[in-house]
Structure 1
């Protein structure tokens, strides 16, 4: 079997208050990347105040240009349109292709659900570069069904842009390993660092990549910067030949998952004009 390698870069840094300050900070970090095939960044990287879709798209285009990456999972942002705020996630490539998705279940634990409406199913892109990627935002990864839907859509890589506090990092490592193995995909968790929740809990990075066997193959500490890893996409085929989890589910339960996907879309469309 021919090996298929993929260079992945993850950005881990602080979140400041202002949109422009965040964009400048992250753009500078992205410019140090070594032209990855895929770059990904964390949730709300442009700040935690709602912005327009146009601002989000413009910043995402600046970031992909700065990083010289082929494809960018542009974390997520709170987008306000016609009085409704949703959490949206963009995947874009250098040719101009765009996929927009959202956070299915805003967090109840943090109070986000009281302010943010459901943003729709995961963004998904079948790229021109031999791989497919989906963006499952933050707490949505705690729902096995959401990640399974993304895998059934054809994702080789599940990106999980998040803001996870340090006292829950143990949990996210377990979730990332489990979702990677049960779907035989690469799972990449991207977290900011050096910030706090409103309740005082610290967010201290810990971004990581899990392989299709559920092993964490690379991770960051609390430092700002870029994690760059070369992975073997051919490992997905090798493991799926042994572990038939996705094939078994597709054979019996695919209609159930596709029905759930349509209901997620319908629910989001009732609240948003996207």
Structure 2
């Protein structure tokens, strides 16, 4: 079988708005998997509720779409059950930093070997543009005509405060740069957080290509956490690339003493039980 980007295509219709950043993110994810020679049956993707989650039926492979904000625990469970799979959690800034912020924190702390793509368009776009934790203070959105009252969460600052092993930042207007970043995240042995600054022309038109092109600056891979912190706190520039990587911390599964000498995966150890008798009582 010839592996190319079409190997990941499905017949599901596109539902994103014209100009939505999800188009480029989706293409970049597929291209990254192809360049890593990952076939669809080797990939498990967990999608959130939201515009990003609407891509769950538009890419081939094993896929699950769970409750809002719960893409990470689904992905963690899949990874622990079968480490032969490449596992990716695809989640928006709203779901990740509201309902799912605890999952992000504990995922970084535990250092599970999965990749998390955070689509950051600074609003709940699927429900017509409400504010999220990343929306800038004072910005007017639906439901907040006088502007957001709270400070925003800086994803990079949060991640770097938790002793991470991988944090990168990409931009939907730079699909090739995204391909490179996603590949680095998947290859990393540990919990890879990739924040993607995403254009939303319908509900956040101010953060457009002109805005990002003026502020973005690409950097080389950084292994100095203090330097990385300076990158994410810079108010004038948006730095993209691998902001921080630490290869010294071991990933979660390798620390489980009861799994040390086992060559089988948990999914192979699950026993089958005949429950037809129980099901018949429910008919």
Under a length normalisation based on structure 2, what TM-score does the superposition of the two structures give?
0.37
Higher share in strand:
1
